[in-house]
Amino acid sequence: MSLSPDAIVLASPNYINNVTAWMKALFDRMGDCVHCQRMEGKYGAAVSTAGGSGAVYVAEYLNKTLSLMGADVVGAASVNMSEGQDAVNQAIKESHNIGMALAEAIETGRVFPDQKAGHEEMMNRMRDLVSLRSDDWTCEYAYFRAKKWL
Ligand X SMILES: Cc1cc2nc3c(=O)[nH]c(=O)nc-3n(C[C@H](O)[C@H](O)[C@H](O)COP(=O)(O)O)c2cc1C
3-state helix, strand, coil in the chain (%, to 5): 55, 15, 30
Per rule CB under 6 A, count of chain residues that contact ligand X: 12
Footprint on residues 64-123 left by ligand X (CB under 6 A): 81
The gap from C-alpha 112 to its chain's centroid, in whole angstroms, comes to 14
Q: Determine, following the binding rule CB under 6 A, whether residue 49 of this chain makes contact with ligand X.
A: yes
Among 1, 3, 6, 17, binds ligand X (CB under 6 A): 17
d(CA 44, CA 148): 25
List 7, 8, 11, 14, residue binding ligand X (CB under 6 A): 14
Nearer to ligand X, 56 or 81 (CB): 81
Give backbone dihedrals phi and psi of 141, rounded to 5 degrees, phi first. -60, -45
- Which residues in this chain contact ligand X in the complex, by CB under 6 A? 13-17, 49-54, 81
